[in-house]
Amino acid sequence: MKNKQVFFEDWGLIDYKEAWDRQEAIFAATVKLKTELRNRGENDASFTGIKTVTHNYLIFCEHPHVYTLGKSGKKEHLLLTEDQLAEKHAVFYPINRGGDITYHGPGQLVVYPILDLDNFFTDIHLYLRTLEEAVILTLADFGIPGGRYPGYTGVWLDADDPQKARKICALGVRCSRWVTMHGLAFNINPNLGYFKNIIPCGIEDKAVTSMEQELGKKVPVKEASEVLKRHLYILFGMLA
């Protein structure tokens, strides 16, 4: 039985490690329940008992200054020493998502979907493209034309021109037994100077941008969040 109900949570500005631990706890509990259900045969069509289902979560938040490195990333893509990190009031974490290095900070909307994709579709490529599409649609609502850059994940502007292409949203996910965690980082109005301290996503020759940079004015994170949330619910067929 598919359960498309999604519990939405706004964690506000939260320490990265605290959010990671909370994600891990929800993720581990979901995987554990899913394994137990399969072992008991409750997902079998012939099972006649009371159905138990896995839950889905959509978490929005912002983080204090932090750099995170995915499993396929290179430590040398962080261009700061430990002392320089401290001077910038930033921290660094190697983590268990896909992708390379990225930055999170105030003014950037971070989205953590913890979904059992068996409730939606079991296609990780489609999952990533759907996350991207929600951001592309959100940008369009604010008059910013976004798109995809061939060979890379995330959402880009002027993706058809290699000289102008710049990234506005990064993706990095983990998936086990079709349960997801981590997600996307959408630049609303962060301090873009912090991206100069890394080789973002391991891409040396492409710029990073934000909604503020493109529009010439700040966009309230809450306003962009509501638009993105709506598109995610529609595209995934989520139920509140």
Question: Active site includes 169?
Answer: no
Angle between helices 124-141 and 221-236 (to 10 degrees): 140
What is the phi-psi region of residue 137: left when phi exceeds 0, alpha when psi lies from -120 to 50, beta otherwise?
alpha
DSSP of the chain: ----BEEEEEEEE--HHHHHHHHHHHHHHHHHHHHHHHHHTTTSTT--S------EEEEEEE-SSEEEE-TT--GGGB---HHHHHHTT-EEEE-SSSSSEEEE-TTEEEEEEE-BGGGT---HHHHHHHHHHHHHHHHHHTT--EE--TT--SEEESTT-TTT-EEEEEEEEEEETTEEEEEEEEESS--GGGGGGB-GGG-TT-EE--HHHHHTS---HHHHHHHHHHHHHHHHT-B-
User: Active-site residue numbers?
Assistant: 201
